[in-house]
Structure 1
Amino acid sequence: MLSLKQLLSHGLSKIGTFGSRIALTNFLLMSPVLMGSFSELARAGDSLSLPVHYALAILIFAIIWATLEFSVSIGTVIMLVYLADMGWIRRALIPSTGYISNDPITLISTFVSLLYFLRLVVLRKIPINTAISKTLLPLVIIMFLEVVNPLQGGIAVGLSGLIFRLGPLLWYYVGKMRGSRQMASLLFFVMVLVSVFEIIIGNRQWFGGFSEVEKFWIASGGGTQSAGKGYFRPFGTFLSFSEYVVVIVIGAGLCWVSFLQKKYIYIVPFIALFVTLFVSSSRGGMVSIFLVMVVMWAIQGKNYRAWLPRLAFAVVVALWGITFGLERVKEVEVDDKTQILVNHQIKGLSDPLGKDSTGGLHVGLITSGILQGFRVPTGIGLGAGTLGASKFGAGGGSSETDVSDMFASLGFIGGILYVVLCIRIFIGISKYWHDSRDVLALSTLALMTACNGRWSSGGHYAQSMFFWLIIGTMDKIIFEYYFMNKKSNPDNERRSEILKAGASS
């Protein structure tokens, strides 16, 4: 005969299993509804407008929120795939509803993370049990306060900062509270699939030409870049070329990590991603992927002392490889259109400090952003420097990196807090990799390096959400790893305390 406690435990486990099944069932049942909505939109003509976008946003939000409640792994995968395809969804709606600048479907990720965070606040369950979480909470409080900073040009600009800067960062708490090793592994794998899918679409856009709706998107100010001579760079299913490039770098970096872990099949997608990245003519993207390759190989050393000499050796090999590779690429014959991008890439990589280099401009913007935090100690507002600033009247733009943006937006206190947060994230995950050799830690370090100083980049919806979700999950995994080691080795802890006491005396 089972006791009441055993009955309750058994019942709760059944409910948990049933909940997961319900979540999957809801997703499978709601998917045809979502697809049907797109079909109706296609047949509806020009009579539909903004209300349809709100209705669609509510529907997608409801699906993702309900799924997250029962299965965080399925819910976060749906969220990631949705954000990666959000540009395609917005363009697909243009023939029926027209181009909408402030589209509500871009708000879904922020609403999910914000509501989850507010629920933790109400329940008094905000985690502050690690160095990262203790640094993040005061930073979040400052960011909330900066939403109403009058210097940014109005509350609309502040709310845009909440969407572009704070919303992605709050995904940390979803990972911290509900993340798991299985979820992180699944998300890394899905991100590789997303990046491979993106280069297929991107190469179709470049070599096959843009569709009519993609041309309209470009003409309406879509976030792509000119390639010269009337050509535009591809952007896949994303809203912008810049996020397209970052996701390719992340995918290539994760493939490189798998290759280093002797999963040699991953070299195939890595080569495809690397070549596409080169042909895209993104110099920053190429620098990022070389950094990933060099750093990830260097930290394969067994201890910290081996990392620095391995890094120096890898840098020398990488520089030689770039020089040798560029000479070989010059001999490759490609079509005239692609030659424009290849020549731009070769020129930038072979002469990074030349007269055509924009490196000095980037350094100037970063320095100016940091100094702004000291010139205006209260900051100029969370939304300053985001896309919302130009839309709602404050003007200005990003200062190139998160650190300089945070100094300018939050003042020197917020900027310093963000720097401390970044350092603690890097040290925590590096130490965990050194101690555990967990491939999840190596993949996270590859992700951090691939993002290259843009961890909370406004407008990079999929990248930013993915990044902070993984950081939160890893913080949870790392805490549990050291907590369990300490718990299983109480004698070691006691011995450490005795040694400290002896040293102090």
Structure 2
Amino acid sequence: MSVLIHRIQDHRVVRWTLALLVAVGGGYLLGKWSLDPSKIRLLMFGGLMLLALPLAIRNPRVLMFSLLIYLPFLGFFRRMLIPVSGWSSYDPLVVFSPVIILLMGFLWMYKTYIRRQGINKEDDTYLFKLVRWMIIIDLLQVVNPLQGSILTGFGGIMFYVVPLFWMVLGRLHMTETWLRRIYGTVCVIAVISGLYGLKQINLGFTQFEEIWIDIAGYAALIVGDGSRAFSFFTNAAEYTTFLVVAIVILWVYLLRGHVVQKLCAVLFLPLLMYCVFMQSSRTPVILTSLALAVITVMHAKSKMGRVLALIIMAGMLAGAFVWISKIESSNELIAHQVNGLANPLDDEHSTAGIHVAMFVNGMIKGITNPIGHGLGFTTLAGAKMSSSGDSSEVDLSNMMISTGVIGGLVYGLILLETLRRAFRMSHHNTTVLIVFGILIATIGAWSNGGNYSVCAIIWLSIGVLDRLTLTQGGIRQT
């Protein structure tokens, strides 16, 4: 067989004939599919793949940057196509970015482990070892029969393995300079998205957005007579978390940036903070406040300065809490937000107790079933393909449920080691201070695969952070 293949490759006429047949056949299929509106998404996926695959080989850094621009607008593109090609939960546009990252990630694994190129000892870290072990555990859990169909396990790869590959590829290809470019781009997209989100709240949704809301049955979007925004994103939670990431970046710009960055922070921080407040979700507000307080304290150069910053931030947060608790408004979104923040322990106004119970139950499920329920069990794949899917809405407890005690332990160590590295380096590195703030503001949702764009930013940042500990020192390698 190999001899025959070599002869075909060496025979110019046969080679060009086969190429012509492929071109004609492909052109025929493209022409046929272009007349079928239901194939538009598939055609777009094919076109994007043709653009992405050469970049994956020649310039993966540019490709990854492009994907980070694509992901925030994914939901908008999908909804905009509804009047033309209808709606499908199994949209190829959704899997475009994960497929590219998986191809690049598995290619790295092939080169590293199959072709035995290996990892230089001086280029390895404890965090990188943990991530590699987590990838192996996740892949083993794909075939766990407790999750039902193996398709559920394969679906789980998109939500749990892809983020880890973002870390690996960020560590391999990205630099601190590129990460700063990414953060600047995030701020630009956040401002545009925030304005569009306010338009949705105050002026209503477009026709194709209303159609999507009806199809999806998006009950979490409605708060009394009002409705949360989702802007260009796939859901309201992803939109809110993206705004939170941008707020953290701009806050660090305000503290440590140059003149233009400080000016941008002064101009756009109030807008983004208002947008987050109007999402009527308490957890992002609380975690953002915590992250900004920690960043401010970490920014101070001396112990006395940190104590003073801590006192000032505590006073500001207390004052903000008192001010918010006195707000009275007929706007349902504002009223819902105020009642939840002012009464955090009241089950009538706050869901904090429910979220804590879900986290605890998730940890217990992981302990009582130490082998795990399967990779896709706690993901959207589990909800779509399995009648027994479940989620605790916190990544650590979800890992306990999906991958059992061992997977939960490894993931917990990844969380701790990442925070330790970011904390140690954030004193003298502005980029790492941003990373540390993002990690705090999104704690509990680092591996929320449904937040496609935010999840990619978080794990790419972790990859660059791990690389910086090698090039800039400050962390003892173990």
* TM superposition shift of 1:305: 8.9
Mapped pair 1:342 → 2:341? no
Mapped pair 1:194 → 2:189? yes
* TM superposition shift of 1:300: 1.6
Per the alignment, residue 302 of structure 1 pairs with 301
More off after superposition, 142-151 vs 116-125: 116-125
User: How do 1:43-442 residues align onto structure 2 when only pairs under 5 Å count?
Assistant: 47-49=36-38, 51-124=39-112, 125=117, 127=119, 129-221=124-216, 225-262=220-257, 263-265=261-263, 266-302=265-301, 310-311=309-310, 314-327=313-326, 329-330=327-328, 336=330, 339-356=331-348, 357-434=350-427, 437-442=428-433
TM-score by length of 1: 0.81
Q: What is the alpha-carbon distance in structure 2 between the residues aligned to residue 308 and residue 58 of structure 1?
A: 56
* TM superposition shift of 1:394: 3.2
Q: What is the alpha-carbon distance in structure 1 between the residues aligned to residue 213 and residue 64 of structure 2?
A: 30
Q: Could you say what secondary structure the match of 2:48 adopts?
A: helix
How large is the Cα RMSD of the aligned pairs?
A: 2.4
* TM superposition shift of 1:409: 0.5
Q: Could you say what secondary structure the match of 1:170 adopts?
A: helix
Cα 1:206–1:403 change in 2 (3 A) is: same
Q: What is the alpha-carbon distance in structure 2 between the residues aligned to residue 350 and residue 245 of structure 1?
A: 20
Contact 1:382 1:409 in 2 (8 A): yes
Q: What is the alpha-carbon distance in structure 2 between the residues aligned to residue 215 and residue 278 of structure 1?
A: 23
What letter matches 1:323 in structure 2? V
* TM superposition shift of 1:218: 0.4
More off after superposition, 315-324 vs 136-145: 315-324
* TM superposition shift of 1:223: 5.1
**Structure 1 portions without partners, runs of 5+:** 1-36, 487-505
Q: What is the alpha-carbon distance in structure 2 between the residues aligned to residue 221 and residue 204 of structure 1?
A: 21
Q: Could you say what secondary structure the match of 1:315 adopts?
A: helix
Contact 1:233 1:241 in 2 (8 A): yes
Q: What is the alpha-carbon distance in structure 2 between the residues aligned to residue 294 and residue 426 of structure 1?
A: 16
Q: What is the alpha-carbon distance in structure 1 between the residues aligned to residue 226 and residue 473 of structure 2?
A: 53
Q: What is the alpha-carbon distance in structure 2 between the residues aligned to residue 317 and residue 206 of structure 1?
A: 28
* TM superposition shift of 1:341: 0.6
Share of identical aligned residues, percent?
26
* TM superposition shift of 1:309: 7.4
Q: Could you say what secondary structure the match of 2:222 adopts?
A: strand
More off after superposition, 74-83 vs 307-316: 307-316
Q: What is the alpha-carbon distance in structure 2 between the residues aligned to residue 79 and residue 65 of structure 1?
A: 12
Per the alignment, residue 460 of structure 1 pairs with 451
* TM superposition shift of 1:281: 1.0
Cα deviation digits, residues 200-248 of structure 1 (max 9, x gap): 1111111111111100110111657233345421100111011010001
Cα 1:92–1:222 change in 2 (3 A) is: farther
Tell me the number of residue pairs that the alignment of Structure 1 and Structure 2 aligns. 434
Cα deviation digits, residues 352-402 of structure 1 (max 9, x gap): 111322111101100111111111111000101211111112333320211
* TM superposition shift of 1:175: 0.8
Q: What is the alpha-carbon distance in structure 2 between the residues aligned to residue 304 and residue 118 of structure 1?
A: 46
Q: Could you say what secondary structure the match of 2:373 adopts?
A: coil
Contact 1:384 1:394 in 2 (8 A): no
* TM superposition shift of 1:68: 4.1
* TM superposition shift of 1:168: 2.1
Q: What is the alpha-carbon distance in structure 1 between the residues aligned to residue 418 and residue 262 of structure 2?
A: 29
Contact 1:224 1:241 in 2 (8 A): no
Q: Could you say what secondary structure the match of 1:220 adopts?
A: helix
Cα 1:295–1:104 change in 2 (3 A) is: same
**Structure 2 portions without partners, runs of 5+:** 1-29
* TM superposition shift of 1:190: 0.7
TM-score by length of 2: 0.85
Contact 2:222 2:228 in 1 (8 A): yes
* TM superposition shift of 1:346: 0.9
Contact 2:61 2:173 in 1 (8 A): no
* TM superposition shift of 1:66: 2.6
Contact 2:373 2:401 in 1 (8 A): yes
Q: What is the alpha-carbon distance in structure 1 between the residues aligned to residue 225 and residue 300 of structure 2?
A: 48
More off after superposition, 447-456 vs 218-227: 218-227
Q: What is the alpha-carbon distance in structure 2 between the residues aligned to residue 82 and residue 387 of structure 1?
A: 21
Q: Could you say what secondary structure the match of 1:299 adopts?
A: helix
More off after superposition, 317-326 vs 185-194: 317-326
Cα deviation digits, residues 143-182 of structure 1 (max 9, x gap): 0000111101111111111111211221111111111122
* TM superposition shift of 1:449: 1.6
Contact 1:280 1:341 in 2 (8 A): yes
* TM superposition shift of 1:326: 4.0
* TM superposition shift of 1:264: 2.5
